[in-house]
Amino acid sequence: MNNYDAIVIGAGHNGLTNAAFLAKAGLRVLVLERNPYIGGASTSRELHKGWKYSNASYVCSLFRPEIYNALDLGRHGLRVIPVNSSMTFKQDGDYFGSYTQPNIRRREIMRHSPRDADAVVRFDADVLRWCKLVRGFLLRTPPNPGSLKPRDIFELAYLMKKFYELTEAQIYEFIRFFTMSIAEYLENYFENETVLTHYSGGSIIGTGLGVYSPGTAYVLLHHAMGDVDGNVGAWGFARGGMGSVAKALAGAFQSYGGEIRSDAEVAKITVAGNKVTGVELASGEKIAAKVVVSNLDAKRTFLQIMDEADLPPKVVQRARNFKIRGSSGKVNIALDGMPTFPALPEGSTLTQGHMHFTDTLKRLELAYDDWKEDRWSADPYCDMLIPSQYDPSMAPQGKHMMTVFVQYCPVNPDGGWTDEKRDQFGQTVIDQIGDYSPDFKDLVLHAEIRTPRELENEIGLTEGNIFQGELTFDQLAFNRPFPGYAQYRGPVKGMYMSGSSTHPGGGVMGAPGANSAREILKDLRKPDTTPEAYSDD
Amino acid sequence: MTINKEHFRRALQHSPFHSRLAALSLTEEWTGWNGYKAARTLDKLSTEYFAVRSSCSVMDLTPMEKYRISGKDAFRFLDRLVTRDLSKLKPGMVTYVVWCNDDGKLIDDGTLFQLDEDQYRLCSQHHQLDWLLISSIGFDVNIEVETHEVAALAVQGPTAYSILTEAGIDGLADLKPFGIAQLQCNGFPLVVSRTGYTGDLGYELWVDPKHAESLWDALFAIKPRLDIHPIGLSTLEMVRIEAGFIMPGFDFNTAESTIRADYDRSPYEVGLGWLVNLDKGHFTGRQALLAEKARPVKRRLTKIYVDGNKPVREAFIFDAKHGKQIGEIKCATWSPILKANLAIADIEFVNGKLPPQLWARVDYQRELKWLSIWAECRVSDKPFYTPEHRSATPPANF
Amino acid sequence: MTEQMDVIIIGAGHNGLVCGTYLARAGLDVLFLEARDAVGGMTATRAIDTDYHTPGLAQTSFPVCTQIRKDLQLDSFGYSVGKAADTISLEQNGAHLRIGQQGPSGQGVSNSDTMAFDQLKKEYLDYAKALRPLFQNKPPRLKDFDFKDKTTLAKLGWNLRVGLGSDSMNEFLRIATMNMYDILDEALENEQLKGALAADAVLGHHMGPRTPGTVLTWLNRLSGELNGSLSVVDGSDSQLGHALRKAAAASGASFRLNASVRKILVEKSRAYGVEMADGEKIKAPLVISNADPRSTLLDLVGAPELDAMFAQRVSQIRGAGDVAKLHLALTGLPEFTGLAGADLEHRLIVAPTMMYVERAFNPAKYGECSDNPVLEITIPSLQNKSLAPAGHHVMAVNVTFAPYNLEGGWEKAKDQFASKVIDQLCRYAPNLKSLIANQELLTPQDIEREYHVREGHWHHGEMTIHQSFMMRPLYGAAQYDTPIDGLFLCGAGTHPGGGLTGQPGHNAAQRILAMRPAS
């Protein structure tokens, strides 16, 4: 029988990150993946000949440069290209573009509202301040506020110290930022409806909340906090699709001697005497290890691959109550050519960035109201990209690949999902795009439509939630996934968590995987191979 | 200004003077300034510099932000906005002002023109519409951006008066420093203010963009007799330091864009305490400044001479007594007219006092090799260079 | 003519009365200036017409904070806690749910519902208890703590860490920012029960059960329950407003009614008195406003006397009222399907499920009224016979959601909305329509006009997390003092917010007395 120091369940980007750091420290590590391909939500597959899709996640900006550097991902083939812009089509035939070139960005905002163009200065400074603060906590293990252990007290003191580097007014502003809705928060700065709507969109991506729900302002950071080579807030697109992230991580992991087995579904984490003994595969095969890391979300981990009898009842109850609401869908489209958008001037660069079709806060919120009623939004919020414009590896020459993220999409529409409903959902999205691009529909060669059902079935995200659990305060930091279990250790000795269900949460960031590895290595008294966060000062 | 959808094709827009500037630019060294294409240099730096100091220079000021403030409460609004007592401001006068946020930290500085009863123009370096509108709550006031509706030209140097007069602009003889006159030039109206950022004799001309080129041509028509030279931002940097003027966003962080706590600066901290009147009515930041004044001085932007001739940009300042690093140079220039190294430094005070002995650690390059020396610094209480002809009324004729 | 007082209190609502009485008892000369013709603010009795009266805007209430009741000897001025009212959640078919002292009962209520409810209630009452130091003191600042802040924080920390224990504290930190929908879904199964509790958390707020922060508004309500049971406000002499008026008068405070303040007089950031609508000036070194923060700071003081960003932040305080009040004058007692006459002394609500409440809230986000609003119904004339002629009754109905900024304006929509609500009521009390002798609907705009509360908000400002504690009404004025020296706030717009608790008035008085230079 094989003998491993550690088994990581799930070859998602956090699992691979975790495994790579463990292997780098000299452990014998096995990664088990249910699917025939690796990457979890960071995957690119060819579902239509010649086209590569980023089937699930589609941008990475949050991916920590420290991890990139520590695992030498550049040499393992990862290239992250900054996305140029984002834009929103208006119903009146106009559009709003958010360019990265500062002068053009300013002038474009001025075109819609001179006041907002000036307010952007204040907005940027404030958001950068919160980014700087929160970014410092990403690669740290949250303290347990209920614990009196020295390390928890030290960590709490460290956080307080960082917090107290703010002025008193800034502390209150930060609390407000943390607890306000994105729409109300932005109204502190902007007046123009299109501008407000454009900048609100990022805050509802992946959440079961609307733009008027308190707590959504903070989610902005989960999208603005990323940086591609110093451009804070810039989105990055991995060349070759998001599968490249997984590929590079796997490359790094294997270079440290790690082993990946795909088509190897774990049925159970085996436990004896409150200690893990290894895993049992769906095939019945048993593999022993003293350390088992689950990269699955908290619900799956505790309710599916662990035995209730092995767990404290409180943990089971917490796992049941864990908020992990699928709210997003995905449509990936192979295009016979580049669609045109008559609203945009000839030669506009805005097609190279994120494109949205929702121009009022009311439309955004109505989309959410639909979801609350378990319907997919009739007028959904779409985040659309055509990456083949600057990444020739995604589609044959002259052809294009389009990726459309759709908010909102329910987990359980009345009567449950059927293939027919799925296609209707996809059609809603295609129709919306068609409204702004008359030649679009004729260019569609193939569409991969993903509702929460597909996301769950294919990549194992419970309810298809892209963050492995809502990013609300009750599930953040020391509350993520549950109070008392936020330090990556499970309730059973030798069992750990490394997925986005743990701090600091979702996004292709790698931080949960790295943090988890640090805790494991500490418990095993091995040298710490994980990186320290870069300083902003 | 209406902006059309095509604006994205060009990052920097052209000022109304651009065709003339481009024609005279030898270096074609351009840079961005508030979204406009502005000249960094057009010619040799020394040529431009001596145009300011010995003949006449012309600089395109169009990119400066300009706001028209009018309405019943315009005066009360402005008096609550700025730290200075505006009660002496009259139509036809300009005054230099700064304004703060609630914490008494500087947002920007600018020149405030009273064009008429209840008609003002505020001219600033940075975008202020957001702050002006925030400040307008509770006032019956109308605020409009006129940055792009008014072309502006700075005509500065000892012969500026003669050139303008010869170009057909009559009525400048009696215009005192900080005065405004509504005049004519070859049949079109223009506003002239005796203001500037060079410390020399000079005027600023404000005109409808459609007359911009005619104005330029009228001035340059005099060139055969009296030399006149366009200058860029690099020269401006030299002469403004000589004149002891500070630049928000360069010499200190403006409050609205400051991310880190205590990285912004109050008027006292940049040496503009004389612009703060705590006894006038309420203005934004008053209570914070009152509290600051009661505390020992923490730091100050200080004008210093740095011994020697090595360029001193980006040097640290040390307290000679304790050897402690207590400050840094924010801007510096070699002064061709004084043959001295001039700098403005942000210096932490020790126990509320400026340490008596300051040294700068200067890193400089010789043939690509980095060298380092220590240079003693001497504090200057006054602007480095203030020629008498600057304020003579009427100015000397050439 | 100018008068000189020690203290002027603008507005004699219950918080103003509490605050002023404390100050008067401390020996200060207190003058109340009330714009309306009666003291008590939202608790003052109002007439529908000459024959029918209602107890005012507040129609149910928890007892006033026990400490205040004791300190001000309110019982000796006639105050008594009303009869405990159960909550009856109505179903059209008569299968009502009743939540009384003994917990929930009704057709659909199982044993496990009762147990789960008791456990939930106990847990949350424990949290409310733990938060008491925070509610009963000025909110601590988060930097430059003074001694009082330190003791408040120490007590709070002790209550959370030691009082609740580490597990319970962790749970509190989890639920503190959550929404009612989720915690009720976690704890309970009975939809009707969940609906009723969800309605409690959102009534008076611009929030639906799914809005994060509704756990906090519920906790706020539960902190009222720590003082005793909910009762129906009936406008009798034993009510809070009357007792407070007498207590204030007995401690030497004077009153002026129909006395509308136009301006707070300020010089160099110091308040020195007020100017009345008729131009009269009254001077006082202490001016305390029971008016809402926005009216106080933007209208009475004026933005020009404030720093610009502060004024901007005041103008952005959220607080657009979302509850309309329907008053019905009835020629007899209506018959509710499935309820006995005695049941009508209790509090009736229409909030059958959480999603019902959420759906009622949805349109409010877009400036529209609920199609099927959440209702809170009382018949105060059953307790206080003087409100209506013999055998006749008055009914008070809180109707939510009815947004202040109604799309298209209230002018046109008002009558239609009133008849819609009456139709809805008739589904539970079929004979109601035939009994109506007179009616009035107070929209949030009417409430604004009649009660001088900006945007007609009960609580003078939304009780969202970002407008609570040290951010209520806004930081920089969250400890009752304001940037204007000598000007204090004491109304529901300040910490800990709305409800007939008297707590803001009490805390403000403590703060004022603590800040007063020793003489």
CATH code of the domain covering residue C502 = 3.50.50.60
- Mean pLDDT along residues C195-217: 97
**Contact present, B69 and B99 (Cβ < 8 Å):** no
**Contact present, C50 and C329 (Cβ < 8 Å):** no
The count of other CB atoms within 10 Å of the CB of residue C107 is 12
Residue A84 has what pLDDT?
80
Nearest to A483 among C171, C358, C366 (CB): C171
- Mean pLDDT along residues C83-105: 94
- Mean pLDDT along residues B13-24: 97
DSSP string, C408-439: T-HHHHHHHHHHHHHHHHHTTSTTHHHHEEEE
Q: How far apart are the CA of B81 and the nearest CA of chain C, in angstroms?
A: 8
CB contact under 8 A, B8 and A97: yes
With 80 as the cut, is the pLDDT of residue B358 above it?
yes
CB contact under 8 A, B101 and C308: yes
DSSP string, B7-56: GGG-SSBPPTTHHHHHHH-SS-EEEEETTEEEEEESS-HHHHHHHHHHS-
Q: How far apart are the CA of C466 and the nearest CA of chain A, in angstroms?
A: 5
Residue A340 has what pLDDT?
97
In chain A, residues with a C-beta closer than 8 Å to the C-beta of B107 are none
Q: At A208, is the secondary structure helix, strand, or coil? A: coil
The chain-wide mean pLDDT, for chain C, equals 95
Q: What share of residues in chain B are helix, strand, coil (percent, to 5)?
A: 20, 35, 45
Residue-wise pLDDT for B288-305, tens only, equals: 999 999 999 999 999 999
The count of other CB atoms within 10 Å of the CB of residue C342 is 8
Q: What is the largest CA-CA distance in chain B?
A: 65
DSSP H or E segment with residue C115: helix C111-130
C145 and C222 belong to one structural domain: yes
C200 and C291 belong to one structural domain: no
In chain B, residues with a C-beta closer than 8 Å to the C-beta of A346 are none
CB contact under 8 A, A115 and B133: yes
C258 and C200 belong to one structural domain: no
Q: Which residues, 6 or more positions from A124, have their beta carbon under 8 angstroms from its beta carbon?
A: B257
Number of domains in chain C: 2
Alpha-carbon distance of A258 to A30, in angstroms, equals 6
The CATH number of domain B296-380, selected from 2.70.70.10, 1.10.132.20, 2.40.30.110, 3.90.550.10: 2.40.30.110
Q: At A262, is the secondary structure helix, strand, or coil? A: coil
Residue A274 has what pLDDT?
94
Nearest chain C residue to A320 by CA distance is: C186
Alpha-carbon distance of A382 to A406, in angstroms, equals 5
Cα radius of gyration (chain A):
22
Residue A231 has what pLDDT?
58
Residue-wise pLDDT for B21-39, tens only, equals: 999 999 999 999 999 999 9
C122 and C216 belong to one structural domain: yes
Residue C2 has what pLDDT?
60
In chain B, residues with a C-beta closer than 8 Å to the C-beta of C476 are 102
C295 and C210 belong to one structural domain: no
User: How is domain B5-62+150-231 classified at the architecture level of CATH?
Assistant: 2-Layer Sandwich (3.30)
Residue A90 has what pLDDT?
98
Task: Answer with the one of C162, C192, C226 that is the final residue of a domain.
Answer: C226
Reported confidence tier of residue C519, pLDDT bands at 50, 70, 90: very low
In chain B, residues with a C-beta closer than 8 Å to the C-beta of C311 are 134, 137-138
Chain B: partners with 3+ C-beta pairs within 8 Å: A, C
Q: Say yes or no: domain A3-42+242-323+466-523 is CATH 2.40.50.140.
A: no
**Paired residues of A335 in beta bridges:** A400, A444
Task: Answer with the one of C226, C258, C273 that is the final residue of a domain.
Answer: C226
DSSP string, B170-222: ---TT--TTBEEEEEETTEEEEEES--SSSSSEEEEEE-GGGHHHHHHHHHTT
Residue-wise pLDDT for C443-472, tens only, equals: 999 999 999 999 999 999 999 999 999 999
Alpha-carbon distance of C454 to A39, in angstroms, equals 55
In chain A, residues with a C-beta closer than 8 Å to the C-beta of C176 are 473-474
**Residue of A147, A156, A179 to mutate when probing chain C, most C C-beta within 10 A:** A179
DSSP H or E segment with residue A442: helix A440-443
- Mean pLDDT along residues B194-218: 97
Alpha-carbon distance of A442 to C299, in angstroms, equals 60
Nearest chain B residue to A122 by CA distance is: B256
CB contact under 8 A, B281 and C268: yes
Residues of C with CB under 8 A from a CB of A: 141-144, 161, 166-167, 169-171, 173-178, 182, 186, 210-213, 316, 318, 355, 358, 362, 365-366, 464-466, 470-471, 475-476
Residue B314 has what pLDDT?
83
C136 and C210 belong to one structural domain: yes
- Is C367 exposed, middle or buried (CB count within 10 Å of its CB: 0-12, 13-18, 19+)? middle
**Paired residues of C30 in beta bridges:** C7
C256 and C304 belong to one structural domain: yes
Residue C1 has what pLDDT?
47
Interface check C312 vs B, CB under 8 A: yes
In chain C, residues with a C-beta closer than 8 Å to the C-beta of A479 are 170, 173-174
Nearest to B258 among A94, A111, A125 (CB): A125
Nearest chain A residue to C141 by CA distance is: A168
Q: How far apart are the CA of C316 and the nearest CA of chain A, in angstroms?
A: 8
In chain C, residues with a C-beta closer than 8 Å to the C-beta of A160 are none
SS (H, E, C) A272-338: ECCEEEEEEECCCCEEEEEEEEECCCHHHHHHCCCCHHHCCHHHHHHHHHCCCCCCEEEEEEEECCC
Domain ranges of chain B: 5-62+150-231, 296-380
Q: Which domain holds residue C193?
A: 117-226
Percent of chain C residues past pLDDT 70, beyond the cut? 99
Query: If you count residue pairs, one on A and one on B, with CB atoms under 8 Å apart, how many are there?
Result: 73
Beta strands B229-230 and B57-60 are parallel
CB contact under 8 A, B260 and A167: no
Reported confidence tier of residue B260, pLDDT bands at 50, 70, 90: very high
Beta strands C281-283 and C2-4 are parallel
ipTM: 0.96
CB contact under 8 A, B11 and A104: yes
CB contact under 8 A, C464 and A180: yes
In chain B, residues with a C-beta closer than 8 Å to the C-beta of A108 are 3, 7-8
**Contact present, A489 and A312 (Cβ < 8 Å):** no
- Mean pLDDT along residues C378-403: 96
N-to-C CA span, chain A: 51
C290 and C191 belong to one structural domain: no
Fold match, B5-62+150-231 / B296-380: no
Q: What share of residues in chain C are helix, strand, coil (percent, to 5)?
A: 40, 20, 40
C271 and C219 belong to one structural domain: no
Range of lowest pLDDT (A46-60, C113-127, C202-216):
A46-60
With 70 as the cut, is the pLDDT of residue B101 above it?
yes
Q: Which residues, 6 or more positions from C39, have their beta carbon under 8 angstroms from its beta carbon?
A: C12, C17, C32, C241, C244, C245, C255, C257
Nearest chain B residue to A94 by CA distance is: B5
Residue with tokens 């008016």: C291
Q: Is residue C20 part of a domain?
A: yes
Nearest to B139 among C268, C304, C315 (CB): C304
Interface check A166 vs B, CB under 8 A: yes
**Residue of B253, B260, B287 to mutate when probing chain A, most A C-beta within 10 A:** B260
Chain A: partners with 3+ C-beta pairs within 8 Å: B, C
Q: Is residue C479 part of a domain?
A: yes
C212 and C249 belong to one structural domain: no
**Contact present, B109 and B97 (Cβ < 8 Å):** yes
Q: For chain A, which residues score pLDDT lower than 70? A: 1-2, 226-234
Alpha-carbon distance of A168 to B164, in angstroms, equals 53
